Structure formats: structure tokens, C-alpha cells
A and B are shown apart, each in its own frame.
Chain A
Amino acid sequence: MAKIAIKVKVNGVERSAEVEARLLLVHFLRENLRLTGTHVGCDTSHCGACTVVLDGRAIKSCSVFAVQADGREILTVEGLEQDGKLHAIQEGFFQEHGLQCGFCTSGMLMTGYAFLENNSNPTDDEIRHAISGNLCRCTGYVNIVKAYQYAAAKLREGGEQ
């Protein structure tokens, strides 16, 4: 199958590749770049385990072709930690027991990262709507809401990334 050259900035690093037009972004990240923190949990874009941030927006990378990311910027879970310091959203999940099996966690973190960029003082209800496209089978969401609030408070305090 014919291949198409793409250039994508992933976690701040320029990556070039030749990919099939049909290659999903999630498989490009996981298999071509070996960034396996982004997961696949369904075939129908319902579960959100594959959520990454594309040009500042949380998107489901199972619903985007790698070629559609050409020339754009992607942040994955592997890019959240900066200079050995966890991002506030990661810290929130740790402090509030917002994860159990860890499989949905990357998607939850990336949805949260993009959400809190635009809303640093959310209500619980706003958080619940924000994560309604991310399924979790372990936590019952209560502690994920708390984790988002923890991160929001930390981001509001400022100084934290």
C-alpha cells in the first residue's frame, strides 16, 4: 500500500515517518513511535482510553488518521511530566486515588489536561461532563472528579505548570 510522508511534533520532538493512509493515529503513536502509554479500549470511539491532545484539543486518537496529524502538534501522557516533575493532573490522580488498573488513566489525564487549560475553576458537574467520553470501569469516577479538582486548585495557585 502506498505510503505518505508525515511530520508530527510529538511531546515537543519532531517526528517524521512514512505511513499508510489508513493508519490510525493511535497505532502510529503506539507502534511506530512506541509511545505505548496511549491505549486502545474500544472500536467505536466511546471509551476514550486513546485520548491525546492535538493542537491543544483533547481528541480520540483512534478516530484520527496519522496523516491528519501531519504538520500538527501532539501531547501524549508521556509528555506530561516536565523536568522530572509530574503535572498537576498527574499529581491529583496520585493523591486522590484516581486510578486503579491504569488502563483508562492516560486518556483521563489528557482529557483533564486540555479541560483545565480552558477551565481552571470547574464545578464537579462540569468535570463529570468533561470526562463523559472517557469510560472507567474501576474507580466509579468519584475520585477522578476529586483528582481534577486537586489539579485545578494546584493550577490556580499558580507557579505550577
Chain B
Amino acid sequence: MTTPRTPAEIGGMGHSVKRKEDPRFLRGQGQYVDDIVLPDMLYLDIVRSPYAHAKITNIDTSKALAIPGVAAVITGKDLAAYNLHWMPTLMSDTQMVLPVDKVMYQAQEVAAVLATERYIAADGADAVEIDYDPLPVVVDPKKALLPNAPVLRTDKPDKKDNHIWHWEWGDRAATDQAFNDAEVTVKQDIYIPRIHVSSIETCGCVAHFDKVRGKLTVWMTTQAPHAIRTVFALVAGHVGLAEHKIQIIAPDIGGGFGGKVPVYPGYVIAVAASVLTGKPVKWIEDRMENIQADSFARDYHMTAELAGKKDGELTALRIKTIADHGYTDAAANPSKFPAGLFHICTGSYDLKAAHVEVDGVYTNKPPGGIAYRCSFRVTEAVHAIERMADLMAHEIGMDAAEFRMKNFIKPEQFPYKSALGWEYDSGDYAAALRKAMENIGYAELKKEQAEKRKRGELMGIGISSFTEIVGAGPSKHFDILGLKMFDSAEIRIHPTGKAIARFGTKSQGQGHETTYAQIVAEELGIPVDDIAVEEGDTDTAPYGLGTYASRSTPTAGAAGAMAARKIKDKAKKIAAYLLEAHEDDLEWEPGKFFVKGSPDRAKTIQDIALAAYTNHPQGMEAGLEAVSYYDPPNLTYPFGSYICVVDIDKGTGEVKVRRFMAVDDCGNIINPMIVEGQIHGGLTMGLGPALYEEIQYDDSGNILQGSFMNYLLPTAIETPNWETDKTCTPSPHHPLGAKGVGESATVGAPAAIVNAVVDALWHLGVRHIDIPITPPKVWKLLRENGVTE
């Protein structure tokens, strides 16, 4: 779909409608969690461990409690009295809320101070005195698997090592056979480091337990409010919290990117503190807590191998991975997929065989393994296949674009069953790559590169032709703690023809108030300005699993379309009654039903809405509203081709992204302006990890990049002027033909950048560089290979 079906005043799909959420943000009138203040509210500050692994020998709270304004100090022992000191993770592991006897990572929560003012709570936290007895620290997951490694999870009586789980997928025998038969193989160790989403708003909550009503209300930075409510009810049922008396409100959220899916100890402590004190309790992380203790992403140690023929035809892929999960498996994955959707790693290519293995490992680091703006490990998968494809192309001396064209799944092969079992819905990969090449002038760039190489200048061209898998997901395979991963919409049309639509998801900046209204406008012809969209309040919105993994449009967006269609069916009956015509004789154009052949005999959706409350047919229920819980029949497979041009400074090793052309295909588009904005942002969150972002630990488990001092986000100076374009291959199974777009660019961009850098250095003998590609890494490679200024 390239041209809108509705006129601009209705503003359905395809219109770049200006955002309905902007007026409040532009005036500083958004309401984020830290903006909420309740009477008698207490502030909570957390005391954190300086050690990565240590026994707690004593906690002395007396000096903290002596500070005027400090109301209480909560320790693990206090929570243990209510059996709230441990909680389950989304992967059915266990995580400490507050420790009773030992800490497992640096910056772990150890105690919490409640005070009447924010600064006094911080004073209190400084005054809590804790004695530790350090224990041996394990930071390297490969060493964690050695027989002599200290066993970290001593809380699990049967645990004799640090291995969490082994997962494998695909046909091992067929893959091994393909490798035996291969004319060419390439093999590469690829490490994708630990990174952090670092949304500009950190995490926090205001928990308010109303003792009289017995109701808990929590304003919370969460991407999944309904699931959180259920988890709270299940975890704290034994202390009297029941689901009908828990209200989770996700107010305006300052960026999520996956980091606001998990349940962090701070939330639970705040809730417990409010229940115990009967007062509202506010907990807001500072940035250092956010980076040092909240969910990380990635930390995948991969060994990838690709097999093929000398003419460039690929045949098989094999990947083994060690996944560092920190001290507990708290990844926010669908429950049946401990390595997420990593097995999308055959990517855009028609491979006959593939086999992947992942082993999860405990270390003395914070838990997590969440997506960083990606659908459950898709970035790891894309990085592996796109790096390996490039390596193979270079190895056999074939142009990287031509190599991809040769191996792409062809349009006529869709729906395509991959070697690892996925059924890709639709795609035209060659069209996207061709467009990217034309737009950026690929042939001219290759010439320029050849000339520059003669002069000793370092220029590289990198391609990434990625395929995503998003919109989890079909209930047959997708659940989180048993909750099926459908999503929902409820639409009510008011008598005056205006509407309110509520959804089970939660925007964190994606613009749902605008795009969901456009979906309703598309289906019902009600102007987008006449439709209010609400999300995030579990007392009013229908149940849904939330916004992450690019799932909002594929699931809740589809639910919106389906609910609107139910309303339209009823509207048609009412229109037939009002027009004294048979339903079969009515036709629809955006905003009205009319009698075939008599366009003047028409009833607008507004006429029909009024009639639904004032003059509905006898025997029909009054009102005009509907609910849909949409269980997608399949996932969606957005794709794209990116081409990156880099110049490398031989003196400093600095990589400059000179140009970056992104051609994306997310199927039918709801709002082109918002889609482009999502791609710009996604590309920047691809640039960051490719060149700057990394969290490392020293041998004692001390975090080395624990604040924005050294955890480097791209600024406007490093970020190039992104160039974007699109192709449109609708999803055949989604009601709107849409696929989801929020994460494509983050998933696809890093490989294009690395491929460009390696391309610039290939003639020197460089075959791979792990991200982030920092100036020191490149400088060292240049000097090792005899390049001087």
C-alpha cells in the first residue's frame, strides 16, 4: 500500500499525521513517574554492594536510623520474614530482592532506606554500614564452565556447576554432512559484548498501598503493565495482594527499548515498603544504578561457521554460543525459548541446513539478557549471519552485494520454511538491496574505494541485508510464564461519533496515541482527531502482554483493526435499518455506508453511532463497541538492506561513518513520518554498540563503564545524517499488511558498520573486529599490519 485510502481529514493509514502526544511533551506537561507526588510520600534509596561476590557478615542500620527524617531501613532479613526476599524471574529462575547472606554482583541491592525527603534517603543510604567477606569472583563465562570454577548459586542445593541450560536447534547431522561436503568454509569467533539500553529516563515507581481499601496502585516505568500485575499477584498473594486490588499504571515513559520489561528488585522493595508503612513510596534510580544493576543485553560469545561452494552458493550454517546471563537467568524471553529467537540466524539466505547451540552460564554480573531494542536475540543472529556472509564473500573474492543477491531467498519462495523451522511470511530481499545500491551509488563508491586504496587511504563499504522476526507471538509457541502472547484492543464509539480506544500495549515514545488512532480511522472512517487512545492503566485497558520486540503493530495493532471490523459489522446492520435497505445492498467508503448505485442514500459512521444509542433496531443490543484479543497466526518478518561507507583515520584509528543508506521494508505503513523516526532512532542505537557502547568488568567484577562518563552513547556529532528509503512487501497474514518497524534498524545496522570497517582493512589481512570498534582497537590493528600515519 503506497497511497492512503482515506482522505487527509480522516487520517488513516499512510498519512504522516502529526503526533497527538506531542503538545504535552513540548510544553513540559508530560507525566513521567518521577513527576508524580502523593501526600505523605516517602522516598526510597538503595544501598548497593561494592563487591561482586561476598558474604554479608553484618548490617548496622543504627547511624542511618538516627538521621532525622529516615523512617526505616529494610534489609533482606526484613523481607525474609514475609518470604519476599527472593522472586521468580521471567525464565523461571530465582532472583534476590534483597540478600540475606551473600551478594552476587557489584551494585546489587543490599538494603533500602525510607525517608521523608529524597536527599535524606540518600544520606541514610550512605550511613548504612555493611561488613562483607569477599568470595572468589567469576566474570568470564568460559572460565565459569571449568571444573574448578567456584559454584556461584549455592542457594540451589543441587547445583554443582555454573551451567544454566543447553539449548540446540536444527538438524545437526545434515549440517555436519553439508560441512563435510563443502568446497569452502569460513569460521570466526564473534563476541557481542554486554551493553545497556540507557533510555534517557531511568527506571522507577511510586507504590501506594491504600490500607483502608486494601488496594495497591503502582505508577511504574513498565513496558508490560498487565503482565506485571499478574506477576505481583502471584508473587505476593501470600501476603494478601490479590489481582483485582492491584492497579499498575504506566504513565508517560521516557524510552524503554526492553530495559523496562523486567521486574527489578527496586520495584518490589518499594511495593513492600508501601504495604508495610501504609504510605506512598517513590523509588527512582539514578543513572549509575540504572547502568550498573539493571538488565544488560547480549553478552554472546559465538563461534560461527558457514559452508558453501566456490561459486558463492551457501549451503550450511553452524553456530555455538556461550551466553553470559549473570548470576541468574532473568532474560525477558518467551518461556519456550531460552535463547530467544536466535534461530532466525539463517537470515535472508536460502540455506539448506543449519544447527545452533547455546549454553547459558552464571557469572558474578547483574542478570538480564534482555533485548536491546530487538526481538529476543535477533541482533545477535543478524550479526552472526551478516558477518559470516561478508567473510565468505570476501574469502572467495566475490562482491558482497552480488554474493547476497545469489543467496537470497527468492520472492517466489514465500511463504518460506527456513532450515531452522521458521515460516517467513513475505519478502523481496533483492529489491531492497538493489534500491540501496542505486540510492547510494554503489558502483561509484567501489571505484572511489579502489582509487583511494591505491593512494593508501582507508575507505570501506559494508552491507547488511537482514531479516527480522517480530510480533511474538502465536499462542501455540509463545508465552511468558504461561501467559499467551496475544494482545488486545477495546474500542468504544460514543453517541456523538467520537471514540476511545484502549490497548494492552504501552508506548514508550513510539507514538501509539497517533498510530493506533490511525488504525481505527482507517477501518471506521472516524477522523483521527476524534479518537482518544489510552494504554498503560490495568484498571481500564484490556489485558495484553505489552510493548517490546516490535510487537505492538503486529499484535495490538491487529487487534485494533479486528475490533474496528466487529464495530463495522454492527454499524452496517444499523445503517441498513436506518436506510431501510438490505445489508447486502450497502457499500462502504471511508466514513459511511451507502446504497449501491445511490450514493446520496448514505449514513455516516457518526449517524450510525448516534443511532446505536438513540434509535437502534429492536432486538439488537444498544451501543457501539468491541473488544479483540488477537492471537497472530504467525510472526512477521520485516527486512531491509543497509549500506554503510566508512573512512578510517590512519593516525588515530577513528572510524567515521560517512554515509549510511537504509532501505527498510516493514510491510504496509501506518504513519510514514513515525516509521522514518523509528528508523533514525534505531540506526543510532545500532551505531552506538557498533562503535562506542560496551560494559566490561575487571577480574574482581568491578564494572568499568558504570556511568555516562565512560558508557558512551552517540551524540549528534558522531551520528551521521541517516539516509532512508523503503520498499513495501505487505505481510499476507496481518489484517493491515503491516509488520512492525521499531527495531529493524538497531538489528541491521551494526553488521553493516563492521562489514564496512573490515572491508576497509581486508587487504591488510584483517578478517574480523568485535564490536565496539573503538579507535584503540583499529589503531592497534593498523600498527600490527604495518600501517603508519
| Interface residues, chain A, with chain B CB atoms under 8 Å away | 20, 22-23, 27, 30-31, 34-44, 46-47, 49, 76-78, 80-81, 86, 90, 93-95, 97, 99-106, 109, 124, 127-129, 131-145
Contact = CB atoms under 8 A, between A and B. Distances in A.
B26 A109 contact: yes
B716 A144 contact: yes
A37 B707 contact: no
Interface string B192-224: 000001111110000000000000000000000
24 contacts: A27-B118, A30-B34, A30-B35, A38-B28, A41-B200, A41-B201, A42-B707, A43-B288, A47-B200, A90-B27, A93-B22, A94-B26, A95-B18, A97-B676, A101-B201, A101-B509, A106-B28, A109-B26, A128-B717, A139-B681, A140-B683, A141-B716, A144-B716, A145-B721
Contacts of A138: 255, 509, 677, 681
Nearest to B16: A97
Contacts of A27: 118-119
Contacts of B719: 128, 140-142
B716 A46 contact: no
Contacts of A42: 286-287, 707-708
B28 A43 contact: no
B26 A90 contact: yes
A77 B287 contact: no
A97 B678 CA distance: 10
Contacts of B37: 31, 34
B22 A94 contact: yes
Contacts of B510: 100
Contacts of B707: 42-44
B717 A137 contact: no
A145 B680 CA distance: 12
Contacts of A38: 28
B680 A135 contact: no
B744 to A, nearest CB: 13
Contacts of A99: 19, 22, 25-26
A6 B118 CA distance: 20
Given A76-B28, A90-B26, A135 B713 contact: yes
Contacts of B677: 97, 100, 138-140, 143
Contacts of B26: 77, 86, 90, 93-94, 99, 105, 109
6 nearest A-B residue pairs (beta carbon): A37-B28, A103-B254, A101-B509, A102-B25, A140-B680, A77-B28
B34 A40 contact: yes
Pick the most buried of A36, A43, A106, A137: most chain B CB atoms within 10 A of its CB.
A137
A34 B30 CA distance: 13
A23 B409 CA distance: 61
B713 A97 contact: no
A-side interface mostly: loop
Contacts of B674: 97
A141 to B, nearest CB: 4
Interface in B98-152: 118-119
A31 to B, nearest CB: 7
Interface string B240-259: 00000000000011110100
Pick the most buried of A43, A49, A100: most chain B CB atoms within 10 A of its CB.
A100
Contacts of A134: 716
Contact of A22 (B18, B119, B685, B721): B119
A104 B199 CA distance: 10
A141 B201 CA distance: 17
Interface of B: 18-19, 21-32, 34-35, 37, 118-119, 197-202, 252-255, 257, 286-288, 508-511, 673-674, 676-677, 679-685, 707-709, 713, 715-717, 719, 721-722
A145 to B, nearest CB: 7
A45 B676 CA distance: 30
B200 A140 contact: no
A124 B721 contact: yes
Contacts of B681: 100, 137-140
Contacts of B202: 41
A2 to B, nearest CB: 14
Contacts of A139: 677, 680-681, 684
Contacts of B252: 101-102
Contacts of A140: 677, 679-684, 719, 722
Given A49-B200, A93-B22, A132-B716, A81 B709 contact: no
Contacts of B19: 94, 97, 99
A137 B680 contact: no
A49 B34 CA distance: 13
A42 B290 CA distance: 9
B722 A142 contact: yes
A146 B383 CA distance: 31
B28 A137 contact: no
A62 to B, nearest CB: 10
A97 B724 CA distance: 15
Contact of B673 (A30, A37, A46, A97): A97
Nearest to B253: A101
A80 B680 CA distance: 27
Nearest to B291: A42
A137 B257 contact: yes
A131 B719 CA distance: 12
A102 B287 contact: no
A27 B25 CA distance: 19
A35 B22 CA distance: 18
B257 to A, nearest CB: 7
Contacts of B34: 30, 36, 39-40
Given A102-B509, A106-B28, A138-B681, 7 more contacts: A22-B119, A37-B29, A41-B200, A43-B707, A99-B22, A103-B30, A137-B713
A87 B673 CA distance: 22
Given A44-B707, A129-B717, A137 B255 contact: yes
A91 B423 CA distance: 45
Contacts of A76: 28
A129 B717 CA distance: 6
A95 B16 CA distance: 10
Nearest to B682: A140
B253 A20 contact: no
B669 to A, nearest CB: 14
B717 A101 contact: no
A23 B122 CA distance: 13
Contacts of B200: 39, 41, 47, 49, 101, 103-104, 135-137
A142 B674 CA distance: 13
Given A37-B27, A90-B27, A140-B681, A103 B32 contact: yes
